[in-house]
Amino acid sequence: MDLFSKVSRTAGKHSPLEEEIRKLPVPVSSVFLGKDGKIRPAEFRQTDMALVCKGHDRIALVFPKIISKGCGAILEAVASNESGGISGKRVAVLFSGGPAAGGHNVLAGLAAVLGTGNTLLGVRKGPGGLVKGDVFEIGRESIKSIINMGGFDFLGTDRTKIKTAEQFEMVKQSVVKNRLDGLVVVGGDDSNTNAAFIAEYLAKELIPCSVVGIPKTIDGDMAAGKYLPISFGFDTATKIYSELVGNLNQDAASAVKYYHFVKLMGRTASKITLEVALQTKPAIALISEEIAEKNMSLAQVVDYIVRIITLRRFKGINHGVILIPEGLVEFIPEMGRLIAELNKVLAEYEKDVADLPSVENKREFLLPHLSAQSAQLLASLPPDLQEMLILDRDDHGNVKVSQIETEKLLIDKIRYRLSEMKRHTDHFFGSEEGKIVATPGQIEDFKKVTLSTQSHFLGYEGRSSKPSRFDAAFTFQLGLAAGSLVLAGKTGYMAAITDFHKGGRVLALPLTGLVTAEMRKGKEEFVIEKSLVDLSSPSFEFYAKNRDKWAAEDCFSSPGAIQYWGPTSRQLPIIVALDRDYPGFDSFDMGEEKDVAGGE
């Protein structure tokens, strides 16, 4: 092949590397294998494991049909002894929320477990597409081209919240019209909340369609401790961010002039930031959950960073990497209170606020309705941040934190603080409590340096990549589990995999056991609870024990790119290995490898 032909081949949708990755085998847990070694649906049995149900009585009133006995009772997959297969079932699948690596392998797992006797259908453009009835049959050939590939483009996705009676009725019509026996919802906490409500509605309407959720989100917060250590997409996204942050660590130490401020995705939980910090050992990583726990103000967060920058300056280190979780603003208690107050007032005066022409007008209208402290805080924020907090909410009532430039806000405030420190050295340096201890020479050196910064936001880069080997394996199993649940006629469950280091244990978690009451748009709603960084977890404790050393010295790591072959391709997230007490983090095992792309 000449060079021009090679280049034109690589200009197509898939590169030669992608073609090789598509051929990689995926593991299959033993519960999905028949005696002949072929993939087949598993059965589910009751266990004595259960999720802790908070407010069972209130939840039972909202989900009377699908609530399982004891609320949180968990099912476990076992290999089926049935000789004949189930056939003639029609199962639709949709993606919901932000993309996450591995979505296409969920489809591959579903197709494999349904076999040729059942029909797999796709819903275009997420829950919104389901409401519209935009459903099509997925051909087997398509699966061969998307397996191990990234993105959600094959089906598309959206963030529609199914909430009105009309929307539920339209969902029912779609289910009836397409004769669906099953609906698989691939999504995070909000999407699986949708799944729980759809399951309940269809059960109430006596429509025999199983609704099953699949835990997806790069944020890692659709999780349930030992029963579901992580959601899919987290591993790939954090590996990509870790490569990039590692490169920035290396750049900072090479150019010796910049502090790189890196905001990392994760709308609420700081799990991404914690994982990337463990992989790259930056100078600073903020963990929102800790900032909330310590009740730190924005000024205290700024002072914490400034102190580390100053102490590094004393050692001649004027560079480094600072990680900032995307969701930080909502976790700074004073900001959290402001957002909660705004949500309430915006819900009460929705129409009045909508009628006002400019952001300034809206702000002036809102200020008298806020507490004095929140009004003062709102007025002190940069205009674009005020605009975000006043205007933007998604369909589920979430502030669009990915659009808030927290990294730039912090850079501005830190610069201002450092310049104050240069001007008023007596106020900031000294032996009194709260001041920084420094020699006159160190203070002079401190004054000579100017902070040079670069800001970055890593988020979208990590969502649609080809899945890591871990996510490719995890998602294929989740597809097999969800398909098996539907064929077993189970509704209102989420497919879950645990014990990633010993063959992969396949569970079904009742969605109602994950539900909690939360304030959304100023009102209490029942939603699936997000799993946040646990400050008593081994992974956080490990980070907290080591961070002073990483702040004081330049001892970073640069883990490099995702590997698809070789020993380092078997890595799973460090936080999973630490928190679940695995013997290592470099050798996941989810079953016997099968060549699925070849037509298994």
| Active centre residues (catalytic) | 219
Least Å from the CB of residue 313 to ligand FBP: 33
Contact with ligand FBP (CB under 6 A) among 218, 472, 496, 509: 218
One-character DSSP codes across 416-436: HHHHHHHH-HHHHBSSSTTSB
Burial environment of residue 178 by CB neighbours within 10 A (0 to 12, 13 to 18, 19 or more): buried
Q: How far is CA 245 from CA 221, 232, 249, in A?
A: 21, 21, 6
Site residues (CB under 6 A) for ligand FBP, limited to 491-530: none
Structure token pair of residue 115:
């076999």
Please state the closest distance from residue 203 (CB atom) to ligand FBP, in A: 25
Residues 219-238 that bind ligand FBP (CB under 6 A): 219
Q: Which residue has the tokens 């929320």?
A: 97
Q: Which is nearer to ligand FBP, 180 or 482 (CB)?
A: 482
**Min CB(249)–ligand FBP separation in Å:** 22
Which one among 188, 510, 559, 573 touches ligand FBP, defined by CB under 6 A? Answer: 188
In what order do the strands lie in the sheet containing 43-50?
A: 43-50, 73-78, 505-510, 493-498, 210-215, 182-187, 90-95, 119-123, 135-137
Report CA dihedral (78, 81, 87, 89) to the nearest 10 degrees. -30
What count of other Cβ atoms lies within 10 Å of the Cβ of residue 359?
A: 15
Beta carbon of residue 536, minimum distance to ligand FBP (angstroms, whole number): 24
The residues in 447-486 that bind ligand FBP, with binding defined as CB under 6 A, are 459, 463
Q: Point out which span in 34-42, 133-141, 240-248, 260-268 binds ligand FBP (CB under 6 A).
A: 260-268
Phi-psi sector, 135: left (phi>0), alpha (psi -120 to 50), beta = beta
Q: Which of 105, 192, 217, 498 binds ligand FBP (CB under 6 A)?
A: 217
Least CB distance from residue 150 to ligand FBP, whole Å? 14
CA gap 59, 68 in Å, rounded: 11
Closest distance to ligand FBP from the beta carbon of 561 (Å) = 21
How far is 102 from 231, CA to CA, in rounded Å? 11
Which residues inside 374-413 make contact with ligand FBP, applying CB under 6 A?
Answer: 401-402
Q: Which residue has the tokens 């919901």?
A: 96
Binding to ligand FBP (CB under 6 A): which residues in 44-103? 97-98, 100
Q: Smallest distance from the beta carbon of 288 to ligand FBP, in angstroms?
A: 13
Interface mask toward ligand FBP for 319-358; x: CB under 6 A: -------x--------------------------------
182 vs 459, beta carbon nearer ligand FBP: 459
Among residues 181 and 219, whose Cβ is nearest to ligand FBP? 219
Q: Is 345 helix (H, G, I), strand (E, B) or coil?
A: helix
Closest residue to ligand FBP, based on beta-carbon distance: 97
d(CA 186, CA 482): 10
For the residues of 9-42, what is the DSSP string, one character each? Answer: HHTSSS-HHHHHHHT--EEE-GGGB-TTS-B---
Count of positions on this chain that bind ligand FBP (CB under 6 A):
15
Q: Which stretch binds ligand FBP (CB under 6 A): 71-79, 262-270, 541-549, 552-560?
A: 262-270
265 near ligand FBP, judged by CB under 6 A: yes
What residues line the site for ligand FBP (CB under 6 A)? 97-98, 100, 188, 217-219, 265-267, 326, 401-402, 459, 463
